[in-house]
Amino acid sequence: MVLKGVDVSKTVSAGGLVFEALRRAIIEGELKDGDPLRQDEIARLFNTSRIPVREAITMLEQQGLVKNQRYKGAVVVGLSVAEASEIFDFRCIIDAHVIRAAVPHMTPALIAEARAICTAFASASDPLHWGDLNRSFHLKLYQASDLPFHLASLSNAMDRLDRYVRAQLLLTDGHARANAEHLEILEACARGDADGAADLTVAHIRGAKDTLREHLAKIQAKFGAAETR
Amino acid sequence: MVLKGVDVSKTVSAGGLVFEALRRAIIEGELKDGDPLRQDEIARLFNTSRIPVREAITMLEQQGLVKNQRYKGAVVVGLSVAEASEIFDFRCIIDAHVIRAAVPHMTPALIAEARAICTAFASASDPLHWGDLNRSFHLKLYQASDLPFHLASLSNAMDRLDRYVRAQLLLTDGHARANAEHLEILEACARGDADGAADLTVAHIRGAKDTLREHLAKIQAKFGAAETR
DNA sequence: CTAGACCAGATTGGATCCGATATACAATAT
DNA sequence: ATATTGTATATCGGATCCAATCTGGTCTAG
């Protein structure tokens, strides 16, 4: 028996596939706030019936990415400034706790991997990948924490915020500043300074929150008080 | 128009109904770790087809209450000691943050309501309601925080832990001690002491965690190293 | 000309049907 | 006797079909 086995039970169902695709589209901003999710349109796109699509939509609804109204359909939900701020605050708390737990367990290999992601982020010319690399960097560091529940919860918070973080990276200095802060965090981790890494991470997230708030305030001043929901 | 209107769009779908029922059964411990969820058995129970049942199961899976294995079915998932500990830690952090935010916005009316729940908890003879009243008490206090995302996240953590918290309340002194600690928290809230309330809440949760750990350790010592997963 | 009834198409929710997979057990070969 | 293979049944995932509801436009009454 030389064949390399593969756990077939891990192959995703059709519903899981559709879910992943829709989730990606939403967090990358491809599907925007308010966009409707038509079941049979999506079903045709994936060559399935509507059943797996409905499964995907209920998953998305549980994650808070879409809202389903009975007999009306599902729409992508965006965040008000207040909601986004609250989730940023949530991230400050959990990210700090997680990285503080992670630092003592970081191996040189993990630091090296994180550094590689960091430089990839710095040199990526395509803004489309910034969001992914940013997220990968943070998650790589957190990987050492061995706190799966915290990470799952964080993952959900990131999913809700990602669209806005990506927008923020595109702002003036957003990318450069994020990169500088990543390097600082990385160095704190490398020298085993858990509290330092936590403080820097909090500052990093709080900075993203504040610049995004300013940005949204400007937009709202321009277009009037739109969709406060 | 004297009729009290009801938002018909909020009327639950069949899937939502099944979900709520199964969720309740799981968090109350009626369905135990490892119990299988047979789709057509449940469908018969609720007089529906299997479609809404499947919807309910995907929701439960997103919440981490069950695990679905392709072509095998869904089973209720329990927590190892390590997992439960991690979620208790999560609660310490979030509960503290939420109650600290809530205290400044607490009205005398809200304090009174919380006190009512507290006395109901103290005098409830039926241990079946202890879990609900315990949860209601905490959520009532947190209601003033105006942090919906934090509360949703907390709700999920509570769902995962509730079975174990209920078990812990049944242990010697569990109920009495919880009641005493609730009163302390309530008094701190009443006098506007946010930090005090936060500290007492953390101690309250940490206490539950520790007694539960001891309890489980004893059980494991008795039955051997069972199901560490 | 406008407000409200009403009809038609679109869309979702749920039921039923069918193919795929797992599990348990019987049959068979070595 | 044991291990392997075939088969029967239970159960699940997905497709298709039907019913319930929403939406938009049209028509009529005032």
Quote the pLDDT of residue B225: 44
What local confidence, expressed as pLDDT, does residue A78 receive? 93
Cβ of residue A50 lies below 7 Å from strand C: yes
Please tell me the predicted confidence (pLDDT) of residue B226. Answer: 42
What is the pLDDT, as a whole number, of residue B160?
97
Of A189-198, B50-59, B171-180, minimum mean pLDDT range: B171-180
A106-110, A137-141, A170-174, A190-194: segment of lowest average pLDDT:
A170-174
In sequence order, the 6+-apart residues with CB closer than 8 A to the CB of A75 are A34, A35, A36, A37, A66, A67, A69
State the Cα–Cα distance between residues A111 and A99, nearest whole angstrom: 13
Q: Which of A58, A135, A60 is nearest to A91 (CA)?
A: A135
Q: Do strands B36-37 and B66-69 pair parallel, antiparallel, or not at all (unpaired)?
A: unpaired
Q: Which of A13, A150, A160 comes nearest B90 by C-beta?
A: A150
* pLDDT, tens digit, 9 for 90 and up, residues A128-167: 889 999 999 999 999 999 999 999 999 999 999 999 999 8
Give the mean model confidence (pLDDT) for residues A25-43.
95
Q: Is the pLDDT of residue B228 over 70?
A: no
pLDDT at residue A7 greater than cutoff 80 = no
Is 90 exceeded by the pLDDT of residue A170?
no
- Spatial distance between the Cα atoms of B70 and B77, rounded to a whole number of angstroms: 16
Chain A residues with CB within 8 Å of chain B CB: 9, 11, 13, 15, 51, 54-55, 58-59, 62-64, 69-70, 72, 83, 86-87, 89-90, 93-94, 97, 147-150, 152-153, 156-157, 160
- What pLDDT shows up at residue A214? 85
* pLDDT at residue B4 is higher than 80: no
Helix (H) or strand (E) holding B67: strand B66-69
- Helix B194-223 with B81-102: angle, nearest 10 deg: 170
Smallest Cα distance from B123 to chain A, Å:
35
Q: Do A58 and B58 touch (CB under 8 A)?
A: yes
Q: What is the pTM of this model?
A: 0.91
pLDDT score, position B69:
93
Q: Which of A19, A20, A62 is the mutation pick for testing B, counting most B CBs within 10 A?
A: A62
Q: Which nucleotide is nearest to A13 (CA to C1')?
A: D13
The band of B227, judged by pLDDT with boundaries at 50, 70 and 90, is: very low
Q: Which residues contact A7 (CB under 8 A, 6 or more apart)?
A: none
Shortest distance, CA B36 to any CA of chain A (angstroms): 17
Main-chain phi, psi angles of A105, to 5 degrees: -105, 10
Where residue B220 falls among pLDDT bands split at 50, 70, 90? low
Instruction: Say whether B53 sits in a helix, a strand or coil.
Output: helix
